[in-house]
């Protein structure tokens, strides 16, 4: 079975013909999931050899997406290169990891189109259905949101964001009673007592991004066996000697600056026998589909944070796992 590191090497070696780079800006309605009513979008379009590769920038505001387009406008990709060589150029020329991941995603997409193949064929593996959990985002009343969502989809698995003030024992008990919470996200801001409550009531859930002080208050190691890292991991090297030793890692290509680096993170997880799941950053276009391909290859059975946007009221959310096609050309299947 091919490893993530081996797939990264195969992708790096793919030849690439580039005629030009452009960025398409827009927005997508995402009420209830995003701070505003719509999600600003930026799509890197890398053209060459009669084909076009696409990659998604996850920058959060229209101004930041505008900066992405300006940064790409200053790039001068070579006309004949490889994915690996272009990735190294991006590392030198683009400071923002979101920018690098978007252009690298477009480069991988374009190179795979040149080669008339896709990641599954390159890895010699069929697509596996992708397990996912639903992240409800930051809610004014998270517990009410959880219960309302489960009324629509009783079998859904959930990721919950803990507010800075935390929850009472009664509220943690309500969450535990649902039997549906698989990830608890502290966003590096929590009192040790809150992490203890989470682990006590939800012993099988991943405890994502607790503050470093939590580890020093857990000499017995009980919490550590469920700690997952997300925002702490900005590159694969961060997993070699992390401040907080994890049991699992939430791997996000935009967070670590690219898909090749995400594969290197997954390779470290494999080598160190760490759990792993693939996360999203509110992608609404090709980036979400590319992340699902990565998950299908290496973390299909995990609770990946890659659910579709929640459907409108009255519609039933799709169930996990999510089937993927593997008969396409490029980095990810077309929408549909």
For each of the domains in the chain, give its residue range(s) and CATH number, in order of start: 4-116 (3.30.390.10), 123-298 (3.20.20.120)
Residue 304 DSSP label: B
Cα separation of 166 and 66, whole Å?
36
**Predicted pLDDT at 134:** 94
**Averaged in consecutive runs of 10 residues, what is the pLDDT profile of the chain (336 residues)?**
96 97 92 67 97 97 97 95 98 97 98 98 97 85 88 94 90 94 92 89 95 66 83 95 89 98 98 96 95 98 91 82 96 89
**Predicted pLDDT at 241:** 85
**Predicted pLDDT at 218:** 59
Q: How many CB atoms lie within 10 A of CB 327?
A: 10
Helices (H), 74-168: 83-93, 97-114, 119-123, 142-152
**Predicted pLDDT at 29:** 82
**Residue 99: is it exposed, middle or buried by C-beta count within 10 angstroms (0-12/13-18/19+)?**
buried
Q: pTM value?
A: 0.95
3-state secondary structure of 229: strand
The DSSP bridge partners found for residue 56 are: 43
User: Quick one: how far is CA 109 from the chain centroid?
Assistant: 17
User: Quick one: how far is CA 49 from the chain centroid?
Assistant: 30
**Predicted pLDDT at 217:** 62
CA-based end-to-end distance of the chain: 29
3-state secondary structure of 319: coil
Cα separation of 249 and 333, whole Å?
25
Q: Of 180, 173, 125, 117, which Cα lies nearest the Cα of 6? A: 125
Pair of tokens at residue 199: 């682990």
């Amino acid at each position: 079975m091919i490893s993530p590191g081996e797939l990264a090497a195969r992708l790096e070696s793919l030849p690439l013909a580039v005629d030009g780079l452009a960025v398409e800006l827009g927005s997508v309605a995402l009420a209830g999931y995003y701070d505003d009513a719509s999600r600003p979008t930026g799509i890197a379009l890398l053209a060459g050899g009669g084909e076009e590769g696409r990659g998604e920038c996850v920058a959060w505001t229209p101004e930041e997406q505008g900066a992405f387009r300006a940064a790409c406008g200053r790039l001068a990709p070579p006309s004949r290169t490889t994915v690996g060589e272009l990735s190294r150029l991006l590392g030198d020329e683009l400071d923002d990891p979101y920018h690098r991941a978007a252009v690298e995603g477009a480069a991988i997409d374009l190179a795979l189109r040149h080669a008339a193949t896709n990641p599954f064929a390159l890895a010699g593996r069929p697509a596996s259905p992708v397990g996912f959990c639903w992240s409800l985002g930051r809610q004014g009343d998270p517990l009410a949101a959880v219960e309302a969502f489960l009324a629509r989809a009783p079998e859904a698995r959930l990721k919950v964001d803990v507010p800075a003030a935390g929850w009472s024992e009664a509220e943690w008990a309500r969450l535990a009673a649902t039997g549906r919470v698989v990830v608890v996200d502290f966003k590096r801001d929590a009192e040790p007592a809150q992490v203890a409550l989470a682990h006590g009531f939800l012993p099988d859930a991943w405890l994502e991004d607790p503050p470093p002080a939590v580890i020093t208050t857990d000499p017995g190691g009980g919490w550590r066996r469920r700690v997952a890292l997300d925002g702490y991991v900005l590159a694969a090297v961060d997993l070699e000697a992390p401040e907080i030793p994890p049991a699992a890692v939430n791997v996000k290509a935009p967070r670590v600056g690219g898909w090749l680096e995400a594969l290197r993170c997954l390779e470290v997880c494999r080598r160190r026998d760490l759990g792993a799941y693939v996360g999203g950053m509110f992608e609404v276009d090709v980036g979400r589909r590319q992340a699902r391909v990565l998950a299908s290859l290496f973390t299909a059975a995990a609770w990946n944070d890659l659910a579709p946007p929640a459907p409108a009221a009255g519609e039933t959310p799709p169930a996990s796992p999510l089937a993927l096609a593997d008969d396409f050309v490029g980095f990810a299947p077309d929408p549909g």
